[in-house]
Amino acid sequence: MKYRATMVKFPYKKFVTTYSRGQLQPLRFTRNITVRQYSNEPNEVFTKLSDENDPQRDSFFKYSWGTWLKNNRQEQERRVTRFSIEGLNAVLEDLYEQSKNSSKNVQVDSIPPPSYNSNLTVSLPHNNTEEVLQVVNLKEKIKVTSLASIHEGKHHRIYKVDTNAGKSFILRIPYPLDNENTIAHRLKSEVATMDFLDLKLGLKVPKVNCFGVNSLNPIRQPFILQEYIDGQLLIRNWAPLEDDSPDGESHKHKLNTVIDPISKFQAAIAKMEFTAFGSLYFAKDQQDSKLLPYNGESNPSLISRWRIGPTVERCFWRKKSALKFEEQKKYLGPWDISKPLDIVRDISILELENAKARLALGQAGASPEAHVQEHVLKSQISSFDNLSKLTPTLINLNTKAVPNIEELLKPRLFHPDLDPMNVILNKNDNDTPYLLDFEGASLKPYILQNNPQFIAYDGPKIYNLETDVEKYKTLSSDEKSQYEFMYKRTRNQYLWELAFNSNSKILISSVAPPIKLLRRPYIAAIERKTDEEYLLLDESMVQLKEVWDIFFKSSLVSNKQFPLEFSEAWLTKHAEDLNKYHERLLVEPFAATQGWLPQDMFDNLVKSGILVKEDNGDYSIKQQTSV
């Protein structure tokens, strides 16, 4: 018998199922339509929900939001997120049954602990009541009626799940870029962090219904199933290169509509003081830890709900497959509250040991990496060894020169991706901002927390074009544009720090220029994305050496002698290598994104002949021929 499904036109990939006489109908699928293309005519193919191996489903799980100029096929295959739609239905049915049972056993003013289920998922009962799931009057089990792929991010894929109860969910599936142990720790901590922010701090974050940390659950993928929030992302309002308005104020108001809500989130997150450095987990996931995450809890439901465990900050886990986990675990914390710089020491040693392990594998011909440059890994070993030697004297923890230094050294929650892309304005809650994506959140001293990436600027500061730039009015248009760019980046960061001072006055010293310079080696280490970026770490230590004497006289550091020595020969080679690195970034436009570019841009560049396909399948930029 052939069925016909009714299709709602959505501007993105979509599966749709319908119901007739209690039977599940075939699944309809629209392929390769993304939110950036807004089409009313999606391409449609059919598939049955009961046919889990239907090849027509494949493109629904494949990565399609971008292309890598080199090794594109391998990179896209690493981001396939095939999951069981039937298993998703089973998980929803289980939540439905839990909601029925919990309504009979509900205790007033009590928050039940997480439920560790027999199907190897973990659910949060207080987020799965009949009212929350909207199944109070449902006459049948809750089921999936449609699926839509709505975002393909750097680290995970996001699907929208619609149900016959009229309730929608978000299904987040991490790309299998890391090993299972890494993903499991990350998911456990992320959900516990969101739970903490919701229940303890009352922040507006999506409520998590259920999660699984490996592929043994019915969905057959690690996942988070959470509340769907309908609204626009705050990024739509962000105009970082907005020109100054004639009245001198309107442009500030426009920029602050984005800066202010994110600054308030940061202030609320940072207000809480913790008892150690690391990351948050549910108590059952850290049974060896007896350390309560904070003091003074009076709510019986919350006293034993969370614990502090190993950090899940991305730098401690990224590209560490060369190390055995038992070796890696030595450097993950948690760390004692009295030793804030141990975090810097341990990331230094961890990266040092990782580079050694990668080098050994490469020399033995056993490396899984396609290209391992021995001289780069040897340079990394030297760089991280230097950082580990610098760490004990990096900051004078007893200085009186930094106002509220004791507050900057306390463990505070760090959201690694505060960004307008991760704030959504809930249209069903008067456009109230909700904060998303707590992957990699950690507890660390505020003195080591950098400005959010969307606002951070380390280039030359220009506060007034006409007074700070000599003969500005006589410059060419191109020269003026360069200085205007610097000015706007300076202006935006200034507005951010102004809001920060208003919302977190006690922590404002963390953005003082000397403090930024002191933590720069650490920031260079944790934000390193490519092997060659050890050069930025080296440069930060060279710059710090130049001002060390001034910092010692100001009591910002306790050792008179800078702990590292750089020979003239080393400095000369470093300068040459750094210049070559920056030149490569200029010559290769997509080097900063490791050769990735958005799909629509890639298609346009290929169509225009700027990108040319090579014999091996890679793409390169067409070279201009001189006349």
- Could you read off the pLDDT of 372-402 as tens digits, one per residue? 789 999 999 999 999 999 999 999 999 999 9
- Same domain, yes or no: 137 and 40: yes
- Same domain, yes or no: 326 and 200: no
- Same domain, yes or no: 159 and 263: no
> According to the model, what pLDDT value does residue 51 have?
65
- Same domain, yes or no: 126 and 263: no
Q: Does 568 reside within a domain?
A: yes
- Could you read off the pLDDT of 19-63 as tens digits, one per residue? 332 333 444 443 333 333 333 344 444 556 566 676 777 778 999
Q: Does 287 reside within a domain?
A: no
> According to the model, what pLDDT value does residue 623 have?
67
Q: How many domains does the chain have?
A: 2
Q: Alpha-carbon distance 556 to 563, whole Å?
A: 15
Q: Alpha-carbon distance 192 to 211, whole Å?
A: 11
With a pLDDT cut of 90, the percent of the chain lying above it is: 70
> According to the model, what pLDDT value does residue 621 have?
84
Per the DSSP assignment, residues forming a β-bridge with 276 are 336
Which of 280, 262, 545 shows the shortest CA–CA distance to 411? 280
> According to the model, what pLDDT value does residue 458 have?
86
> According to the model, what pLDDT value does residue 43 have?
45
Considering the chain, what is the average pLDDT of its residues?
A: 88
Per-residue pLDDT at 318 exceeds 60: yes
Give the CA angle between residues 529, 532, 535 to the nearest 5°.
105
- Same domain, yes or no: 262 and 142: no
Count the neighbouring beta carbons within 10 Å of the beta carbon of residue 239: 14
Q: What is the mean pLDDT of residues 261-288?
A: 96
Which of 445, 453, 273 shows the shortest CA–CA distance to 343? 445
- Same domain, yes or no: 203 and 329: no
> According to the model, what pLDDT value does residue 336 have?
96
> According to the model, what pLDDT value does residue 32 have?
34
Q: What is the mean pLDDT of residues 100-115?
A: 78
Determine the length of the chain.
627
Q: Of 228, 259, 286, which residue is a domain's last?
A: 228
Using 50, 70 and 90 to split pLDDT, how confident is the model at 133? confident
Backbone angles phi, psi at 384, to 5 degrees: -75, -30
Terminal-residue alpha carbon distance, the chain = 67
Please give the sequence-ordered ranges of beta strands (E in DSSP) within 17-166, or none if there are none: 19-20, 23-24, 27-31, 43-47, 66-68, 115-116, 122-123, 144-152, 156-163
> According to the model, what pLDDT value does residue 33 have?
31
Q: Does 283 reside within a domain?
A: no
Distance of CA 302 to the CA centre of its chain: 27
Q: What is the CATH number of the domain that holds 182?
A: 3.30.200.20
Please give the sequence-ordered ranges of beta strands (E in DSSP) within 313-400, or none if there are none: 335-336
Q: Alpha-carbon distance 113 to 132, whole Å?
A: 17
- Same domain, yes or no: 260 and 201: no
- Same domain, yes or no: 7 and 153: yes
- Could you read off the pLDDT of 355-374 as tens digits, one per residue? 999 999 988 887 777 677 89
- Same domain, yes or no: 373 and 511: yes
Q: Does 148 reside within a domain?
A: yes
> According to the model, what pLDDT value does residue 26 have?
42
Calculate the alpha carbon distances from 158 to 53, 61, 155, 340, 355 in Å.
21, 11, 10, 36, 33
Q: Does 422 reside within a domain?
A: yes
Which range among 115-124, 161-170, 331-340 shows the weakest confidence by mean pLDDT?
161-170
Residue with tokens 């293309």: 37
- Domain of residue 326 covers 249-278+313-593
Q: Does 442 reside within a domain?
A: yes
Q: Assess whether the previous peptide bond of 334 is cis (omega < 30° from 0).
A: yes
Q: Six-digit token pair at 338? A: 């009295």
- Same domain, yes or no: 267 and 154: no
Per-residue pLDDT at 626 exceeds 90: no
Which of 213, 340, 338, 203 shows the shortest CA–CA distance to 281? 213
With a pLDDT cut of 70, the percent of the chain lying above it is: 89
Q: Alpha-carbon distance 503 to 266, whole Å?
A: 9
> According to the model, what pLDDT value does residue 7 have?
29
- Same domain, yes or no: 104 and 151: yes
- Could you read off the pLDDT of 449-504 as tens digits, one per residue? 999 999 999 888 999 999 999 999 999 999 999 999 999 999 999 999 999 999 99
Q: Does 609 reside within a domain?
A: no
- Could you read off the pLDDT of 519-571 as tens digits, one per residue? 999 999 999 988 999 999 999 999 999 999 999 999 999 999 999 999 999 99
Instruction: Give one DSSP letter per residue of 510-546, joined into a string.
Output: GGSHHHHHHHHHHHHHHT--SGGGHHHHHHHHHHHHH
- Same domain, yes or no: 206 and 274: no
> According to the model, what pLDDT value does residue 183 have?
95
Q: Does 452 reside within a domain?
A: yes
Q: Six-digit token pair at 622? A: 């067409």
Model confidence, pTM: 0.89
> According to the model, what pLDDT value does residue 369 have?
75
> According to the model, what pLDDT value does residue 220 have?
96
Per-residue pLDDT at 16 exceeds 50: no
> According to the model, what pLDDT value does residue 38 have?
31
> According to the model, what pLDDT value does residue 615 have?
86
Per-residue pLDDT at 140 exceeds 90: no
Q: Alpha-carbon distance 303 to 389, whole Å?
A: 40
